[in-house]
Amino acid sequence: MSAADFRRTLSREDGFDRRQRWLRRLHLDLPLLALVLLTAAYGLVVLYSALDRDWMAFQGQLSRLAVAFIVMLIAAQLDLAMLQRWAPVLYGLGMVMLVLVLLVGVQAKGAQRWLGVPGLPRFQPSELMKLAVPLMVASFLADRPLPPTGKTVASVLALIAAPALLIGLQPDLGTAILVAAAGFAVLLLSGLLWRWVLLAGLLGLAALPGLWMVMRDYQRQRVLTLLDPESDPLGAGWNIIQSKIAIGSGGLFGKGLFEGTQSHLNFLPESHTDFIIAVLAEELGFLGVLGLLTLYFLLLTRGLYIATQGRDTFARLLAGGLTLTFFTYLFVNVAMVSGLLPVVGVPLPLVSYGGTSALTLLAGFGVLMAVATQPKPLAA
């Protein structure tokens, strides 16, 4: 039992609701837990359909989620002060591994993202950075006067840019965006002046042609495809055309669970991973998607509320940053599948098939619970 726990135990009065106390002891936030479970359950139903009712694959995902939930429970127990102290170490370790990935990483599907350590499952260091970057930025900013000074902002930008660039080199644009977004989210929450944000936005727009120059061919193709998918309906445009057809043909109420023709007849590619929301949209319709987005919105709201209740600036920045990262995930994914953004590899949180992203996400929710359940220190 940590020192903080001990102190809190001492400060508690008796006569507290037993259930509340039990949850407190496990460091669980009931609304957040309920929402995560609900979303994951809803996602599993959709996934079962997207997997063509392949029970074996479904079981695999179930066990991966179970592991991720255990990780969440463990993360919830972490002491925030300790997290803040260890943040630079975690960040540094992640950076070393990112460099290692580029040097000796395992290649798959034309990208070098995995680190193979004999005896251990393959591992993507970029996933770690989705947590390590907001942690580092929050830790860094928490020690500095807020709103941050120009110098601080410059340092934070460097902290964000370094891992994002390394991940972008793998290349894994989707993860690079998520990692950078996680860092920026913390920076935004720290009180970065809006006019700077505006200025950065304008600069970014001005830099777009430059970005075009450094983009790889396949990335440019994705942007062009977004603008005019019908120019190559059987090639580059196929994914986005088919996913729009899947979503649109679902209509208000959907074709019914397991009845989606676009996904079950394999017109929709990646139907159980990145494009799974198209399956949901096709089978359960607009109302089905609305339900999922509502769950997401409630999750985000609870996350931000927890952040505002954090015991100190670090806790608040970290919780807020993780919540906004979660938002980035779902926004990029849904916008991409519905044809608003170019195709980048971002899974739909808590729904898409795959273990790594669920692990990272639930670890994040665990940290949120840690923030929710660790009270302000007795002495300010």
| Sequence letter at residue 201 | G
Stretch near another protein under the rule CB under 8 A, chosen from 35-43, 112-120, 219-227, 261-269: 261-269
Sequence-distant (≥ 6) Cβ neighbours of residue 27 within 8 angstroms? 76, 77, 369, 370, 373, 374
Report the Cα–Cα distance between both ends of the chain, in Å, rounded: 22
With a CB cutoff of 8 Å and minimum separation 6, the contacts of 127 are 175, 356, 357, 359, 360
8 Å CB contact between 46 and 351? yes
| d(C-alpha 346, C-alpha 380), whole Å | 40
- The tokens of 116 are what? 């193979």
Stretch that binds another protein, among 110-118, 160-168, 174-182, 337-345 (CB under 8 A): 337-345
Residue 90 touching another protein (CB under 8 A): no
Q: How many angstroms separate the CA atoms of 367 and 371, rounded? A: 6
Task: Kindly state the DSSP code that residue 229 receives in the 8-state scheme.
Answer: G
Would you count residue 258 as binding another protein (CB under 8 A)? Answer: no
Q: Which of residues 203-242 bind another protein (CB under 8 A)?
A: 242
Q: 312: closest CA among 148, 83, 81?
A: 81
Degrees (nearest 5) of the Cα angle 8, 10, 16? 80
The answer to whether 285 contacts another protein (rule: CB under 8 A) is yes
How many Cα atoms within 13 Å fall on the side-chain side of residue 56? Answer: 0
Indicate which single residue of 250, 342, 345, 347 sits in contact with another protein (rule: CB under 8 A): 250
For another protein, which is the closer residue by CB, 105 or 303?
A: 303
Specify the residue, 52 or 123, whose C-beta has the smaller distance to another protein. Answer: 52
User: Does 320 contact another protein by CB under 8 A?
Assistant: yes
Residue 136, interface with another protein (CB under 8 A)?
no
Residue 296 sits in the site that holds another protein (CB under 8 A): yes
Query: Taking CB under 8 A as the rule, does residue 334 contact another protein?
Result: yes
The dihedrals phi and psi of 260, each to the nearest 5 degrees, come to -65, 120
Q: Which stretch binds another protein (CB under 8 A): 42-50, 142-150, 158-166, 214-222?
A: 142-150
273 binds another protein (CB under 8 A): no
Q: Is 244 in the site for another protein (CB under 8 A)?
A: yes
Task: Decide if residue 340 touches another protein (CB under 8 A).
Answer: yes
Q: Does 291 help bind another protein (rule: CB under 8 A)?
A: no
Tell me how far the alpha carbon of residue 147 is from its chain's centroid. 26
Alpha-carbon gap, residue 255 to 259, rounded angstroms: 6
Nearer to another protein, 44 or 304 (CB): 304
267 binds another protein (CB under 8 A): yes
**Cβ closer to another protein: 98 or 295?**
295
Pick one of 307, 318, 346, 371: the residue that binds another protein (CB under 8 A). 307
* 380 is an interface residue for another protein by CB under 8 A: yes
User: Encoding tokens for residue 110?
Assistant: 């034309």
Query: Contact positions toward another protein, by CB under 8 A?
Result: 143-147, 188-191, 242, 244-252, 261-262, 265-267, 281, 285-286, 289-290, 293, 296-297, 300-301, 304, 307-308, 312-313, 316-317, 320, 324, 327, 331, 334-335, 338-340, 380
